Structure 1
């Protein structure tokens, strides 16, 4: 009998301990109820409509190449669209995203890709009101857009300090994944200052908060209910959430929003340098105590860095006293400097530190990309392009060209095989030296037939056939 009593006593003690431990653990877990109740009114659903011209269909003669899948059904000729040649009917494409109110007078932050190319933007508030919105400005480099609705006294969200975030901190997101309004998900900060390919200007916040299509542009909150980021991207192999989500720090986003509100566009600093990472062996060879900084591999002959004394082989290790831990940090530090202002560069040269003062220039892609994105000719392609520096043209051995910054997956350029990062050298055998040249070359084309476009990609030249729609 005695052993049974001892066993029951031990079992009861264990059970009590487990219950006490579970209660303590439960008390340590965050409670998001108050946060959601207070923040939800300031989160909005954004729906967009874009009218895409119907694909112009035409006859293919016996000597023209018809895709095999169509040849099986239609023989040598492809049927005309309903309504005759050059049918005018457009297709409406709809998309969903999220955003949040930062000003009671109707200013809303979201992602640039949420409203890109939209003909109509509708904002639905938490109280079910639906308001038409206009784009005050959008910056594709940081994926931040500022919208405005005509309303007053709207509920706003408190903004936090994203620089104060720490890895392991609890965060929550409110958005409209797959159109499910005001869905709440939570997780922790997995990493900070994360660099993603083609996103040199954003030190992303990485979290394991569940983010899915429709969450884009929505707020990321800390436990104080303050917005610390804008949910922007996920890493996925399936198309859905896989545990890696990325948010734009609110400190970065508000700097962009202030410029968009004041000028409708963003100006960022430019040095005119080609940089590369510093490996451990390179660090030793340049006299550095660790692998840090940005190695200057080349300079634009007309850029501010060369003008003010920066040399190839210099390693920039600090900007205005702020350490450049990795090469990817340099574009962020310079990009946030207004053109015309001076910065102090600490460089390692010939094994010794030197201080250089450089007057930062204006990023040359900004105006070109903006013009190309809005121009009718570039609109026919579905491209945003930027300049190729003289130093890069010399290095690649090309006399002209514009670099593709962004490609609309529904545009003619994407269909032809043109991708981001390509350099367009010529269109229909006409050299392309600027965005204006590209616009002019495209405007000359009546459409309906293929024209050769010469590209430079991954160190080699190639041609693609571009078929523009008829006017």
Structure 2
């Protein structure tokens, strides 16, 4: 009984001492409680103290005080008769329907959104955020903040107003480089060389709703987000609260380095719901350097149209995995054609690095400069080959395009066909689709009347019976799928016809 009673007493005393230790810590003071306690009590108090330390939230004040002076508000007076909303609405209309429902650009005119463009009498002003990247006054912001700018005003954290000019813009990555007109020694921040990891803390500073110098914090939620807004989408996803007016502002790591430029949010209302997207620092570094030394971005050009390799296409090509970029066409006279690449090739590696999909190939080629050489590994008829390509200068139209249209429908083809020569305006090559069963596989995959089937299983077709026999032969050979090469108003692409299991 004595042992039990003593044990009960010690337990109560231990809990009491631990509570005192915890309260002392929360109060920010020390009352020497550990020196009064025995070994058991000391350990209990230490456990409580350790738990409280582990749960303590980080403070961002040191980082914020150091980098905040480099962050500015950007106000733009637009050309007469032009509004940012009209341009943003046009971009918005080109997005996939599922993206349109939620995608909102911010940094535009107050109470304006792409889904609700105002008439021409809308205020000819726009605002966003930006940040200095050099002591002599170069700043970074978003292209959609300053496009069509007639005059740009920069407001520093201390309220000082400066005028600035647009040095250059890159609509494809939505970046712009500015330079203030007034000479001075300006506070600036550095772009991070290393990408943040998912789960890292980040701090965003900007001008949401015109409230300059606003600080918010969160974590990096994901890498490599593709919003369908351009060929080089590679966004960081962050959960720091971002709103209209933050556009063009920086997101920092805890070292005070810029890891991204805030440019978009997902939101049904236009306000922050915790899903924000930033252009990674690696992209900013490459683009800004070129804008500073020429006012435009010089991107490399390969000269192919590519599409993703879906599982259906992989089955039709006899590939072990659905990875790489399938070449729809290699235009005559382009670097790709001169290096031997052609329709039906699957590019699997570039400079020894695996290519995950068509969009990754587009980004990697676009990140290089004209006259650079790149080695491409590709599959042709199941055999791996390699070629070296001397890349050219990309024109406004010249870029590798990823055709994301695909479907998982698994049914019959369901079309009526006619020789192209028999259909006015269809040309002299291939077989034209003159009727589509709305419940068939072709309709499910977007094949419409007027489309021209050029090849079945890699073999050219000129008559409907050749299409039928090609499909039947592939089924007899035990293939899971066969490739059709088709031509539409948008160009040529491949479509996989799958066979239901017997």
TM-score range normalised by the length of the shorter chain:
0.5 to 0.7
In 1, are the aligned partners of 2:301 and 2:398 still within 8 Å (CA)?
Answer: no
Partner residue of 1:152? 184
In 2, are the aligned partners of 1:49 and 1:92 still within 8 Å (CA)?
Answer: no
Partner residue of 1:216? 247
SS in 2 for 1:365: coil
Give deviations 1:85-111, integer Å, cap 9, x for gaps. Answer: xxxx98752221110001111100111
Equivalent residue for 1:132, pick from 149, 163, 170: 163
Partner residue of 1:99? 130
1:323 matched to 2:354? The reply is: yes
SS in 2 for 1:213: coil
Equivalent residue for 2:69, pick from 19, 41, 44: 41
- Cα distance in structure 2, aligned partners of 1:91 and 1:201: 31
Q: How does 1:170-185 map to 2 (within 5 A)?
A: 170-185=201-216
- Cα distance in structure 2, aligned partners of 1:457 and 1:95: 37
Q: How does 1:111-126 map to 2 (within 5 A)?
A: 111-126=142-157
Equivalent residue for 1:234, pick from 241, 257, 265: 265
- Cα distance in structure 2, aligned partners of 1:347 and 1:295: 9
Equivalent residue for 1:363, pick from 394, 412, 416: 394
SS in 1 for 2:371: coil
How high is the TM-score relative to the length of structure 1? Answer: 0.66
- Residue 301 (structure 1) shift: 3.2
- Residue 113 (structure 1) shift: 0.5
Q: For residues 21 and 200 of structure 1, do their structure 2 counterparts lie closer, same or farther at Cα, with a shift above 3 Å needed?
A: farther
SS in 2 for 1:171: strand
**RMSD of Structure 2 on Structure 1 (CA):** 3.1
How high is the TM-score relative to the length of structure 2? Answer: 0.62
Give deviations 1:175-203, integer Å, cap 9, x for gaps. Answer: 01101111111111111122220322132
In 1, are the aligned partners of 2:75 and 2:125 still within 8 Å (CA)?
Answer: yes
1:253 matched to 2:284? The reply is: yes
- Cα distance in structure 1, aligned partners of 2:127 and 2:62: 27
- Residue 299 (structure 1) shift: 2.8
SS in 1 for 2:368: coil
Q: For residues 247 and 260 of structure 1, do their structure 2 counterparts lie closer, same or farther at Cα, with a shift above 3 Å needed?
A: same
Q: For residues 5 and 94 of structure 1, do their structure 2 counterparts lie closer, same or farther at Cα, with a shift above 3 Å needed?
A: farther
In 2, are the aligned partners of 1:231 and 1:245 still within 8 Å (CA)?
Answer: yes
Equivalent residue for 2:218, pick from 187, 191, 198: 187
- Residue 244 (structure 1) shift: 1.4
Q: For residues 5 and 93 of structure 1, do their structure 2 counterparts lie closer, same or farther at Cα, with a shift above 3 Å needed?
A: farther
Partner residue of 1:297? 328
Partner residue of 2:409? none
User: Which of these two proteins has the greater Rg computed from alpha carbons?
Assistant: 2
Q: For residues 254 and 13 of structure 1, do their structure 2 counterparts lie closer, same or farther at Cα, with a shift above 3 Å needed?
A: same
Q: How does 1:312-391 map to 2 (within 5 A)?
A: 312-365=343-396
- Residue 242 (structure 1) shift: 1.8
- Cα distance in structure 1, aligned partners of 2:171 and 2:82: 26
1:32 matched to 2:69? The reply is: no
SS in 2 for 1:263: coil
Give deviations 1:365-405, integer Å, cap 9, x for gaps. Answer: 1799xxxxxxxxxxxxxxxxxxxxxxxxxxx979xxxxxxx
- Residue 284 (structure 1) shift: 4.5
Give deviations 1:246-288, integer Å, cap 9, x for gaps. Answer: 1111111121111111111111112222211112343344454
Partner residue of 2:461? none
- Cα distance in structure 1, aligned partners of 2:330 and 2:426: 16
* Larger deviation, residues 289-298 vs 245-254: 289-298
- Residue 294 (structure 1) shift: 0.8
- Cα distance in structure 2, aligned partners of 1:294 and 1:125: 46
Partner residue of 2:193? 161
Aligned pairs, number: 340
- Residue 321 (structure 1) shift: 1.5
Q: For residues 5 and 458 of structure 1, do their structure 2 counterparts lie closer, same or farther at Cα, with a shift above 3 Å needed?
A: farther
SS in 2 for 1:141: coil
- Cα distance in structure 2, aligned partners of 1:112 and 1:54: 15
- Cα distance in structure 2, aligned partners of 1:293 and 1:174: 38
- Cα distance in structure 2, aligned partners of 1:94 and 1:35: 32
> Gaps (5+ residues) in structure 1?
56-88, 369-395, 399-455, 460-471
Partner residue of 2:342? 311
